[in-house]
Structure 1
Amino acid sequence: MTPYIDGHCHLNSPELREDVQLHVDKAVEAGVGRMLVVGSDEESSWEAVDMASRFSPQGVRASVGIHPHEAGRYPDGIPSDLLAMADRKEVFAVGEIGLDYHYDHSPRSVQREVMAAQIGWAKVKNLPVVFHVREAFADFFSLINDNPLGDAGGVVHCFSGSWSEAKMCLDLGLYLGFGGMITFKSAQEVRECLSSSPMDRIILETDSPWLAPVPYRGKTNTPSMMPLIYRAASDITGRTLSSVAQSVWQNGKDLYRWGEQDV
């Protein structure tokens, strides 16, 4: 069968990094052919690049950027060393970037400034953008309107908005990322967004180590749990598992422009 992808994971998190070889091996055994390790700041972005370099044959790839939680640490803009990481062959996206008005770990004005700067960075490098948006879609759409994405586009990962917000993302040409949340009893609206979205705009992910799917909810999530998310997506969309795997594999190639032998 077509390999799975994990379109968004944090093997560089404290929960997973010490046993990264084990987690990569288990993911490959589970049928995962691509894993995008995502950066949240300069340090974790470098770790993502390092892991992608070490585990490239197993399908690990990197994304680099500044998460909205960390935006307050960068009042002077994106560090030059981080900007330079985007030129590395292991890097296939800028992110995760965006807005988080649920926790407000960084001032909202700073979050917006850092998000806009990183959109410009991604456009210059012709890389897709991995967005994090939580309780902030109005400002997100306003920022995108003022700072249009480049041709490489992007994905709203861990989508948790309404169908009207999903439709606006799709109308902008964005992909929608869905993970373990689609298995949660309380997430009916998210499931409806998945079932209503065109299959050629769906990315599946774990966001590990968080949001483990049922029956492991509350435990540490890993890329090896991707089969549970694919099976849930198959049930929700009414498509065969093989069809979902084929579509999402192609979507990953289209969005991230990773080939069979890309590094």
Structure 2
Amino acid sequence: MNDYVGDLDAVIERARQKKVEQIITIGIDLESSKKAVSLAGKYPGVRASVGIHPHDLPSSAESTYAAIVRLVEENREHIAGYGEIGLDYAKMYCPMELQQHHFRIQLELAKTLNLPVIIHDRDAHEDVLRILEQCGPFPAGGVMHCFSGDYTMACRTIDLGFFLSVPGIVTFKNANNLREVARKVPLTSLLLETDGPFLAPQPWRGKRNEPAYILATAACIADLRNISLEHLARTTTANATALFQPGLH
């Protein structure tokens, strides 16, 4: 994204210094998916996802998916997952029915490509879960990105075979639902993320987020669970590897 144009090399180097050795950069439309793949080809340890975010559907014709398939087929070694895709009823840049239609198309496409799905869910919990239940199972697995539901929804998501990904919001003292989820769900179902450039954890709240800050998110969750940071880091890294690089697990 444009937020990193001026200092991307430095951002990645700071991540390396904090022992963040693997990064997934996310596609939200065809153009950004191509850019993500390009970054993955340039930087060791960086891999890409591809897909069409619900905000970007009005400008995306069905033919876009053929281009996504070609992108995957030509760059398979650089691509870790399909997404982020899903539903967003908060901004509603696209009608519900159209969002749901394209969500189903992309879930099936991800299965055809044998890629794990990265799910965007904002104010659409029930519809997201219903469609995932109807379109499943997903042999390559998936993750509920930036999880924003309560513990009950977390359990339903895990029952689908999905991981939950927790962003820096968990460090906010008023994030009661997310903090409960991070404390109570099985550690084997948990992933960490930045959602950069958004959702920076404390003490960088409101500023540009970057991968090096994932350490603050990890430390908070380790504290909530009363376990060591090292144990949390090892387990969530193993979880991410199992989902996005299963051949290396």
Structure 1 and Structure 2 fold alike (TM over 0.5): yes
1:20 aligns with 2:8: yes
Higher relative contact order (CA 8 A, sep 6+): 1
CA shift for structure 1 position 258: 5.6
Task: Find the partner of 2:187 among 195, 199, 217.
Answer: 199
Matches within 5 A, 1:96-107: 96-107=84-95
Alignment match, 2:55 = 69
Task: Find the partner of 1:186 among 174, 177, 186.
Answer: 174
Q: Secondary structure of the residue that 2:93 maps to in structure 1?
A: coil
TM-score normalised by L of structure 1: 0.90
Give the alignment's Cα RMSD to 1 decimal: 1.4
Does the CA-based 8 Å contact 2:33-2:49 persist in structure 1? yes
Q: Secondary structure of the residue that 1:102 maps to in structure 2?
A: coil
Does the CA-based 8 Å contact 1:65-1:82 persist in structure 2? yes
Alignment match, 1:92 = 80
Task: Find the partner of 2:157 among 164, 169, 172.
Answer: 169
Task: Find the partner of 1:245 among 227, 233, 236.
Answer: 233
1:145 aligns with 2:138: no
CA shift for structure 1 position 15: 0.6
For residues 62-89 of structure 1, the C-alpha deviation after alignment (integer angstroms, 9 at most, x for no partner) is 1110111112222435432222222221
CA shift for structure 1 position 43: 0.7
Does the CA-based 8 Å contact 1:40-1:66 persist in structure 2? yes
1:34 aligns with 2:22: yes
Alignment match, 1:6 = none
The structure with the greater share of residues assigned to helix is 2
Structure 1: gaps of 5 or more residues: 1-12
Does the CA-based 8 Å contact 1:86-1:94 persist in structure 2? no
Does the CA-based 8 Å contact 2:133-2:160 persist in structure 1? no
TM-score normalised by L of structure 2: 0.95
1:210 aligns with 2:207: no
CA shift for structure 1 position 145: 2.2
Percent identical among aligned pairs is 34
Superposition misfits of 4+ residues, deviation over 3 angstroms: none
| Greater Cα shift, 82-91 or 98-107 | 82-91
CA shift for structure 1 position 259: 5.8
